[in-house]
């Protein structure tokens, strides 16, 4: 049965947040964005059929990972970045907008340190509460990448098993962030959509926020073995995808 995406995020929040403590399952440096120190959060309120998070972390958030306070996360990210001499930090996941006070405190901690901070989010919580975007606007070193699932509400529902209304929350997140002055961009998973639907979405975003068109990103499906397993389990076919070793360098 389809679930309410906001309600499900709140349920997951109870499992992965304790006050200002938030669960993570790893910290790493990665090649994306030209090199970035990354914290991967446990727990997401969506259940995407193409998700790259491994099953135990996605389905058993209570059991997996460890709780960290914002100071510990800041120290870990900075230490990873300094070791590789990189100037970008990121939270990914899982869904890093779960645990708002943890996230805001972490951003407070990293203010004025000279790094670009990228928040990768599905946009559901930000799109359901305008004040979240206003809070994020206090951090000029922040960029929010809103990862949009599907090109319309039917595709969103098919890809996530969620109620279709969730699709609009993703676009609303972009709108709220944009209007609050937060640097942001749409990243659209295109592997399951026709070019026609993608173009329709692109035009819709362009009509709402013309200056974001330069930033419109097409997200690639990468066939890691556990992603392929999941796609097969859901009998989900894709239009385009890359093998892990053959992602074009210009998309990294
Ligand atoms: S929003 Fe991201 S982390 Fe959450 S289920 Fe979908 S792909 Fe996975």
CATH class of 5-245: alpha beta
Q: Tell me the C-alpha to C-alpha distance, in Å, between residue 18 and each of 12, 100, 101, 106.
A: 12, 11, 10, 15
List the structure tokens of 86.
């990189």
- 112 C-alpha to ligand 1 centroid (Å): 30
Answer left, alpha or beta for residue 53, where phi above 0 means left and psi between -120 and 50 means alpha: beta
- Residue of minimum CA distance from atom 3 in ligand 1: 94
pLDDT at 252 over 60: no
| pLDDT tens-digit map of 2-28 | 999 999 999 999 999 999 999 999 999
> Across residues 161-186, what is the average pLDDT?
97
Q: What's the confidence (pLDDT) of residue 245?
A: 77
Q: What's the confidence (pLDDT) of residue 246?
A: 77
Ligand 1 pocket: which of 53, 55, 119, 192 to mutate (most atoms within 8 A of CB): 53
- 180 C-alpha to ligand 1 centroid (Å): 25
Structural contact between residues 97 and 132, judged by C-beta atoms closer than 8 angstroms: yes
Q: What's the confidence (pLDDT) of residue 187?
A: 96
Q: What's the confidence (pLDDT) of residue 55?
A: 93
Domain assignments of the chain as residue spans, ordered by start: 5-245
Q: What's the confidence (pLDDT) of residue 251?
A: 62
Q: Is 170 in the pocket of ligand 1 (CB under 6 A)?
A: no
Specify the pairing of strand 116-121 against strand 142-149: parallel
pLDDT at 160 over 90: yes
| pLDDT tens-digit map of 184-234 | 999 999 899 999 999 999 999 999 999 988 899 999 899 999 999 999 999
pLDDT at 250 over 80: no
Q: Tell me the C-alpha to C-alpha distance, in Å, between residue 68 and each of 71, 85, 212, 220.
A: 8, 24, 34, 31
Which string of DSSP letters, residue by residue, matches 110-136?
HTTSS-EEEEEE-SHHHHT-HHHHHHH
> Across residues 19-41, what is the average pLDDT?
96
**CA-angle at 15, arms to 95 and 55, nearest 5°:** 60
- 102 C-alpha to ligand 1 centroid (Å): 20
Q: Tell me the C-alpha to C-alpha distance, in Å, between residue 111 and each of 4, 74, 105, 142, 245.
A: 34, 10, 10, 9, 35
Q: What's the confidence (pLDDT) of residue 214?
A: 86
Range from 99-108, 120-129, 167-176, 186-195 carrying the lowest mean pLDDT: 186-195
Looking at the CA of residue 53, tell me the nearest atom of ligand 1: 8
Give bridge partners of residue 120 from the DSSP assignment: 145
Residue with more model confidence, 39 or 93: 39
**Mean of per-residue pLDDT scores for the chain:** 95
| pLDDT tens-digit map of 111-156 | 989 999 999 999 999 999 999 999 999 999 999 999 999 999 999 9
Q: What's the confidence (pLDDT) of residue 56?
A: 93
Distance of CA 32 to the CA centre of its chain: 14
Q: What's the confidence (pLDDT) of residue 249?
A: 63
Q: What's the confidence (pLDDT) of residue 202?
A: 95
> Across residues 156-162, what is the average pLDDT?
97
> Across residues 69-83, what is the average pLDDT?
98
Q: Is 95 in the pocket of ligand 1 (CB under 6 A)?
A: yes
The candidate with the shortest Cα–Cα distance to 106, out of 154, 69, 141, 54, is: 69
Confidence band for 42, pLDDT divided at 50, 70 and 90: very high
Q: What's the confidence (pLDDT) of residue 216?
A: 93
């Amino acid at each position: 049965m389809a679930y309410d995406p906001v309600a499900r995020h709140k349920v997951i929040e109870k499992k992965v947040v304790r006050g200002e403590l938030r669960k993570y399952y790893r910290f790493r440096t990665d090649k994306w964005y030209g090199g970035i120190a990354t914290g991967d959060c446990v727990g997401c309120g969506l259940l995407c059929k193409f998700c790259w998070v491994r099953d135990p972390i996605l389905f058993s958030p209570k059991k997996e990972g460890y709780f960290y306070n914002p100071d510990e996360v800041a120290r870990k990210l900075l230490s990873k970045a300094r070791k590789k001499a990189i100037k970008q930090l990121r939270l990914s996941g899982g869904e890093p907008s779960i645990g708002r006070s943890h996230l805001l405190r972490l951003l407070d901690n990293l203010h004025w340190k000279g790094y670009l901070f990228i928040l990768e989010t599905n946009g559901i919580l930000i799109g359901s509460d305008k004040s979240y975007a206003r809070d994020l606007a206090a951090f000029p070193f922040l960029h929010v990448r809103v990862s949009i699932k599907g090109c319309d509400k039917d595709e969103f529902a098919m890809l996530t098993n969620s109620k279709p209304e969730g699709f609009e929350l993703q676009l609303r997140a972009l709108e709220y962030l944009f209007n609050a002055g937060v640097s942001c961009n749409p990243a659209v998973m295109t592997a399951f959509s026709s070019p026609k639907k993608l173009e329709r979405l692109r035009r819709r975003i362009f009509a709402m926020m013309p200056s974001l068109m330069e930033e419109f990103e097409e997200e690639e499906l990468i066939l890691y073995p556990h992603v392929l397993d999941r796609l097969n389990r859901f009998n989900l076919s894709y239009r385009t995808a890359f093998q892990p070793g053959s992602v074009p360098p210009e998309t990294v």
